[in-house]
Amino acid sequence: MFVALAIAAVCLAPPVEGPVTAGYAPVGRYGGHWGVDLAAQVGDPVRAPASGLVTFAGSVAGMRTVTIEPVPGLKVSLSYLSMITVRAGARVAQGSVIGLAGSPHGQPGVHLSTRIEGTYVDPGTQMGCRRTEISRALRLVTPPLPYPRPRAHRNPGRDLRSHPRRSSTHCGVRSLPALPRSGVGDASG
């Protein structure tokens, strides 16, 4: 459950400033497009969409790719780069330059894909946030009930607070019966 919360808390920043030119389409006319393509000019800087560990920086089937792992179980890949500026094993901050844009599918831009536990998911569901905060995800979870604390034994006769059902007492002191007065004006003398 913690892994799911950590993944849900990750917000991806767009790696380039251009709009989405091809959406996530695992099925249908463009079936097999396991990410989104974003418009950029060849050579534009490509920024890390999230902070994390670079787990791969190299070539896959002839296309330069960088993969970042923001939290365990989530991998974010940027493909069709014309140049890579980071190495596997490096830590990157969200917004830092990781490479330069190339030409995905013959159009200038960048391909962005995300995988959760090895399964491709639509990166658009996590894009558009400005910061990554675990507290955002934790606000969605019902907080656990507090541990029951044993209460100290309470002697009601020693209660210093007034009680609405008791005769008027002040700070736990009950009024005493009136004693006979002695002294001046006393006839017993």
Domains and CATH numbers, the chain: 2-138 (2.70.70.10)
Q: How far apart are CA 34 and CA 25, in angstroms?
A: 6
The rounded average pLDDT for each run of 10 residues, N- to C-terminus, in the chain (189 residues) is 62 87 66 79 94 94 92 91 96 96 85 87 72 49 55 59 55 55 53
What type of residue is 147? Y
Q: For residue 55, what pLDDT is reported?
A: 96
Q: For residue 132, what pLDDT is reported?
A: 44
Q: For residue 121, what pLDDT is reported?
A: 83
Q: For residue 26, what pLDDT is reported?
A: 66
Q: How far apart are CA 73 and CA 23, in angstroms?
A: 23
Task: Evaluate whether 17 touches 40 at the Cβ level (below 8 Å).
Answer: yes
Q: For residue 8, what pLDDT is reported?
A: 64
Q: For residue 158, what pLDDT is reported?
A: 60
Picking from 43, 40, 23, the residue whose alpha carbon sits closest to that of residue 31 is: 23
Q: How far apart are CA 60 and CA 79, in angstroms?
A: 9
Task: Evaluate whether 35 touches 112 at the Cβ level (below 8 Å).
Answer: yes
Picking from 97, 88, 3, 103, the residue whose alpha carbon sits closest to that of residue 48 is: 97
